[in-house]
Structure 1
Amino acid sequence: MEAKVLGDKHFVTKQGVYLFNGDQIDVPDLRPFYIEQDNRVNHYESNYDIYAGQHAILRKAVDPDSWRPDNRLVSNWGAYVVDTYSGYFMGRKPTISLDETTTNDRLQDWLNESSLLDILTECSKQISIYGRSYLLGFQDEESRTNTISVEPTNGFLVYSTSVKNKPIGFVRYNVYNNKRIGELYTDSEVIEFEDDRITDRHNHLFGEVPAVELYANVERLSLIDKVKSLVETYDEALSQKVNQNEYFDNALLKILGIPFEHDETGQPIIDLKNRVLVAEDPDSKDGVIDFVSKPDNDGTQENLLNRIKDDIFQTAMVANLNDKVFSGNTSGVAIKYKLLPMQNQALNEERKFTIALRKFLSTLLSLGQIIGTADKDSLMRDLTFKFYRNVPEDLANEADTAQKLDGIVSQETQLSTLSFVDDPKTEMQRMKDEGIDKALTAVKTSASATDLITNQSGGLNGQEDKPAN
């Protein structure tokens, strides 16, 4: 898609980013974006069909005059690619933390209550399907801060035309009975609307638009976008192969030079029920009976299917975990090399996630209801993020590496090299608590140092105690 001018103040970039030339936006200003959004929703829905297995081949018109087989097979490589990559990138929950212990404990409690880490998993899958996803912060009926993910089929973010492209409005909507009903979130208000009519508006306390766009690349190119044509071509090739097999399975019996009796309509009388063909005419010995041979194109078809399948995974930059060559390499180094394209893709997405989440969470946390009073700029600096790849781990090698780092790096960095330690700070506190418990136990169960020395030496300074005069 290309960049467009949608109105006097309305623009859309070739990446599908909506721009508005103004500092504030209201419901009447949204209409020029709706037509473009509806077109993009059609594209998003076609991507979802590829993921869900509702491919174009199933919707092709049926030829009522054709007598050839019409099998329509779907190989859902789109779902395989998306689920494999999402499991690799977000199969293990990331760690989000703060340096200060008390505030970090409150943050972890909120992350668990809000299920944000699970929401991020859904966002990752939406990005793989649509190319983008949104996180929206809001306060529920009990004034608790919560978050939800919003698919691009039900929402869009509007940015200003300034150099920094600051978000100035987020629209979340649904269409019921041809009416667009939803809310517009600005930097100070939540405005409820029905088409162009405002039904309610109230202030919020976030100080900024409480939404952020998540994406894997600035082009907003999804995994499905990369492989859509290949997946549909694979469906066509596989269906054609099955149709040909079925067509030629209906083999034709060829009988030449053998006379048969005929019925009243002139058709030859042939009885093959008992798998015996009787021809009493003496000239039948020179006859020919066999089947019309079918052309063998199986090798060419298989090569084409394998080529398309390989291109799907190479184009998506996702490893085919069922590949025989892949499964034959058992060493950790070999596996990492085969995962390198997927690792590079994940690293790029991780950076985009970190930037977006740092801004989004600092806005929510600075409200003061989650971790107490906090400065937004300080939160931007103090928030740390750690993403983990969901791959088989060599725990023995990790433990050996961590042990060799002892005294070279901090204990937190040392623990972070262990894949099974999700939160190094929490683990350090556990180790500290265990050390205190062991020391207290040792004090309670051991004799005093003075008593020990006295018993071993027969008294202080090596002399026996003497009764006083």
Structure 2
Amino acid sequence: MFILESDTEMTEELLLELINKHKSSHERYNRLKKMYKGDHPILHQKKKEEYKPDNRLVVNYAKYIVDTLNGFFIGIPIKVSHESDEINNYLDFVDKFNDQDDNNAELSKLCSIYGHAYEMVFIDGDGMLGITYIEPQEAFVVYDNSIVGKPMFGVRYYNNADKKLEGSFSDKHQIIYFRENDEGKLYFYDEKPHLFGDIPIIEYVENEEKIGAFEGVETLINAYNKGLSEKANDVDYFADAYLKILGAELDDKTIKKLRDSRTINMAGGDIDKLIVEFLEKPNADETQENLINRLEKLIFQISMVMNINDETFGTQSGIALKYKLQSMENLAKTKERKFASGLNRRYKMIANTSITPIKGDEWTGIKYQFTRNYPANILEESQIAKNLIGVTSKETALSVLSIVDNAKDEVDRINDEYDIDNEYDFDRNRVDLDE
């Protein structure tokens, strides 16, 4: 985390120093990215001798943990709403214009891989509001040294076609563009005002410590890969076991005949002293199985992500299933609070622009509905919703149903249908009276 005095002015020298410090974290980012993509350390370990089996098996638990957690957390897209119809319609438009459901999902995934990620808001060439995500290798935020740690600068950089640094940084009022010259120094070459009234780069975090979802079990995953690979090596070893013959000397032609015909027929000599058997390596199969099973159990236990491929997972329902998913629910709750904090900054900045109907503090009325992607039991949900009618509002009761995307809209549709039915009954009764 980059922290400066609140009155610090950004210079070319200071910016280059910050970028170089940020580059020192690229090794960690690249390691975590490789783990997620299945490029694990076992694939790069020293090769064994040619005569030894050398399996390199990768079980990509890193990807499994990230994808499972985020499918549970944001597999059902976040619903953003406001009491004002005008603002609500604008929020729907912004989300569709920017494919925000996909952006949110990718942003959440990056947070689970790296522990944090960034989002940039901008005005495009057509004067439309744009929102996109940025990987942490390409950006960082500088905070002041106050107790709340307010953002001071947002920096985004990359290597251009000439392998030189290029990018931009923002304060609360303008965007300044920079490049690297032939001497390896930075220079500012352009600046433009922006309308957001704050740093238009927002940091989202997985947790306060910025630890990725699988980072705590990284060594366990590597040990699992190693244990499984050694077990595969043992299988290859037994498939290529050496034949031991004691008490007789065979020439090359006889050895080849034995190998091709797979038949042993030997006569002469002292048969009682003749030994023909395969060399056996000490069997550690049970020990290996115990280790592999223990590692698998620890990976899910420490990462707090449920193994949904467990044979017993699908046989449970209701409250028992929720208890089993409790640890992953706790992770999702932490992630939800941090994500909502980033969303608050997003819509607060949007409200500061002149191209939106959101004015002043109206952004505080925006609500976020995070829905966990639990296995749905429609019958159970409908019974709960029915029991809530008369105890809670219709909107709250309907929000229990996973098949209802927006409870408020569903209540409006129910009311519309009720009005239509009543109007039809009235017309029919009036005809009967006339007759």
TM-score by structure 2 length?
Answer: 0.92
User: Scaled by the length of structure 1, what TM-score is found?
Assistant: 0.86
How much has 1:440 moved relative to structure 2?
3.5
**1:269-320 per-position Cα deviation (integer Å, ceiling 9, x unaligned):** 7731333434332533542222223321111101111111111111110000
Report 1:265-304 matches (<5 A).
Answer: 271-272=257-258, 273-281=260-268, 283-304=270-291
Q: Are residue 305 (structure 1) and residue 292 (structure 2) matched?
A: yes
Higher-Rg structure is 1
Contact map agreement 2:78 2:368 (CA 8 A) in 1: yes
- The offset of 1:23, in angstroms, is 3.8
Q: Cα offset for 1:245?
A: 2.3
**8 A contact 1:18–1:158 mirrored in 2:** yes
CA-to-aligned-CA distance 1:79-123 (integer Å, 9 cap, x gap): 111111111101000111101223212221221222222211001
- How many Å separate the matches in 2 of 1:345 and 1:259? 68
Q: Show structure 2 runs of 5+ residues with no match.
A: 181-185
Please say if 1:252 is aligned against 2:242.
yes
Compute the displacement of 1:235 (Å). Answer: 1.3
Match of 2:52 among 68, 85, 93: 68
Write the distance in 2 (CA, Å) between the matches of 1:289 and 1:346: 62
Please state if 1:198 is matched with 2:188: yes
- Alpha-carbon contact 1:25-1:186 (below 8 Å) kept: no
Q: Provide the C-alpha distance between the structure 2 equivalents of 1:279 and 1:79, rounded to a whole number of angstroms.
A: 56
Is 1:188 aligned to residue 173 of structure 2? Answer: yes
Counterpart amino acid of residue 236 in structure 2: E
Q: Is this contact kept in 1: 2:177–2:189, CA < 8 A?
A: yes
Which one-letter code corresponds to 1:228 in the other structure? E
Post-superposition offset of 1:445: 4.0
Inter-partner Cα distance in structure 2 for 1:224 and 1:131 = 10
How far apart, CA to CA, are the structure 2 residues paired with 1:359 and 1:74?
40
Question: Partner residue of 2:340?
Answer: 354
Give me the identity figure in percent. 33
Q: Say if 1:188 and 1:204, in contact at 8 Å, map to a contact too.
A: yes
SS at match of 1:324: coil
The question of whether the paired residues in 2 share the 8 Å contact of 1:206 and 1:363 is answered with: yes
Contact 2:87–2:358 (Cα < 8 Å) also in 1: no
Matched to 1:401, the amino acid is I
Match of 2:101 in 1: 117
Q: Which amino acid aligns with 1:197?
A: Y
Are the equivalent residues in 2 in contact too, given 1:134–1:211 (CA < 8 A)? yes
When residues 391 and 292 of structure 1 are mapped into structure 2, their CA distance, relative to the original with a 3 A threshold, is same
Count matched residues.
427
**Stretch moving more, 109-118 or 157-166:** 109-118
Partner of 1:33: 18
Question: For 1:412-443, what per-residue CA distance to the aligned partner results, in whole angstroms no more than 9, with x for missing partners?
Answer: 22222222222222222222332333334344
In the alignment, the residues of structure 1 paired with residue 242 and residue 175 of structure 2 have an alpha-carbon distance, to the nearest angstrom, of 73
Structure 1 residues 441 and 274: alpha-carbon distance in aligned structure 2, compared to 1, 3 A threshold: same
Match of 2:320 among 319, 334, 337: 334
CA contact (8 A) 2:120 2:202 kept: yes
Judged with a 3 Å threshold, the aligned counterparts in structure 2 of structure 1 residues 282 and 221 are, in CA distance, closer, same or farther, namely closer
In 2 relative to 1, CA 53–288 (structure 1 residues): closer, same or farther, beyond 3 Å?
same
Question: Aligned partners of 1:277, 1:396: CA distance in 2, in Å?
Answer: 68
Who is 1:92 aligned against?
76
Mean Cα deviation higher: 157-166 or 122-131: 157-166
Give runs of aligned pairs for residues 366-445 of structure 1, distance below 5 A. Answer: 366-370=352-356, 372-375=357-360, 377-380=361-364, 382-445=365-428
CA contact (8 A) 2:143 2:153 kept: yes
Contact 1:25 1:169 in 2 (8 A): no
Counterpart CA distance in 2 for 1:268 and 1:123 is 67
SS at match of 1:356: helix
Offset of 1:268 from its aligned partner? 7.6
Q: 1:297 to 1:443 in 2, by over 3 A?
A: same
| Partner Cα separation in structure 2 for residue 315 and residue 258 of structure 1 | 57
SS for the counterpart of 2:261 is coil
Distance 1:268 1:440 in 2: 100
CA separation in 1, counterparts of 2:261 and 2:35?
Answer: 50
Q: Does 2:89 align with 1:105?
A: yes
SS in 2 for 1:95: strand
How does 1:207-226 map onto structure 2 within 5 Å?
207-226=197-216
Structure 1 stretches of at least 4 aligned residues deviating more than 6 Å after TM superposition: 267-270
What letter corresponds to residue 213 of structure 1 in structure 2?
Answer: E
CA deviation map 1:327-367 (0-9, x unaligned): 3x322222111100000110111111112212221221342
Tell me if the contact between 1:211 and 1:360 (Cα under 8 Å) persists in the aligned partners: no
Greater relative contact order (Cα < 8 A, sep 6+):
2
Once residues 205 and 237 of structure 1 are traced to their aligned partners in structure 2, the CA distance between those partners, rounded to angstroms, is 56
Q: Distance in 2 between matches of 1:373 and 1:51?
A: 39
CA distance in 2, matches of 1:237, 1:343: 31
Please give the root-mean-square deviation of Cα atoms over the aligned residues, in Å: 2.2
Give, in whole Å, the separation in 2 of the partners of 1:251 and 1:418.
Answer: 61
- Paired with 2:126 and 2:325, the residues of 1 have a C-alpha distance of 45
